[in-house]
Structure formats: structure tokens, C-alpha cells
Amino acid sequence: MTKQTVKTELYASKAPLEWAIIANGQLSTAQIPIDVEGNVVKGGIEAQARQTMDNFKHTIEAAQLSMSDVTQVLIYVTGRDQLPVFNKVYAEYFTAPYPNRAAMIVAGLAREEMLCEIVAYAAVPQ
């Protein structure tokens, strides 16, 4: 198996990670609500959901894919009341047929001020 890093214009994290990897015909990515300077965006769950989805869409396009290639999305939010807001933003980025999806309510994320995160997979045409 060979892994290919997807080059994005997202903030270059100091953590040992890549924003996206392609291997075995699948793109794997995780996205968080950070801006180009690596700061978590302010403005609550709607602003954070939009930044997360913008970062995600940027990554998908950097891999020369489209949102229709996305096969699964795992959504993490820190409060049950945040999920309807995240859903509203999420729906702006996809059309039917939608990716498979799961949503989890978690006690916290890597950065205390983060309210959401996604993990996603997309099919890469061979």
C-alpha cells in the first residue's frame, strides 16, 4: 500500500498529522473549525460548523474530488442542541444521494473551545 498526502492550503499543524491521505482508492480526512492561522473560529456552533465544512470542501477539492465523491461522514459535536445547527450548515454542502453519516455527542474535543469536528471518507476514482 502506498499513501499519498493531499496538499492543501490549510494551516500547517504542529501535530504529527496530515489533513488528508489517499490510500487504496479512498481519501481519509478529519477537519476542525480552524482558520488559516490555526485559530478556532469564534461565533458559536454555526460559525464553527461552516468553517469545518469549508475546510472539508477545500480538502476534497485539493484532492481533485467533489463532494459527491464523499461516502461517509462522522460528525462530533459537544452538545445535543448543536446538532440541528450543524445539520443546517451540513445540508448546504451536499445533494442527494447523501453520504452515509453518523453523529456523536461527545464530552469534549482536542481544543477546549472546539464545538465540532468531522471525520470523512471519499471514493477516489482509479
For residue 86, the enclosing domain spans 4-8+18-123
Q: How many domains does the chain have?
A: 1
pTM, 2 dp: 0.97
- Which amino acid type is present at position 100? N
pLDDT (tens digit, 9 = 90+) per residue, 65-100? 999 999 999 999 999 999 999 999 999 999 999 999
Q: What is the 3-state secondary structure (H, E, C) of 5-63?
A: ECCCCCCCCCCCCCCEEEECCEEEEEECCECCCCCECCCHHHHHHHHHHHHHHHHHHHC
pLDDT value for 19:
97
CATH number of the domain within which 119 lies: 3.30.1330.40
Average pLDDT rounded to a whole number, residues 21-35: 98
Residue 91 lies in a domain: yes
Confirm whether 87 is domain-assigned: yes
In this predicted model, what pLDDT tens digit does every residue of 43-58 receive, in sequence order? 999 999 999 999 999 9
> Residue 13 domain-assigned?
no
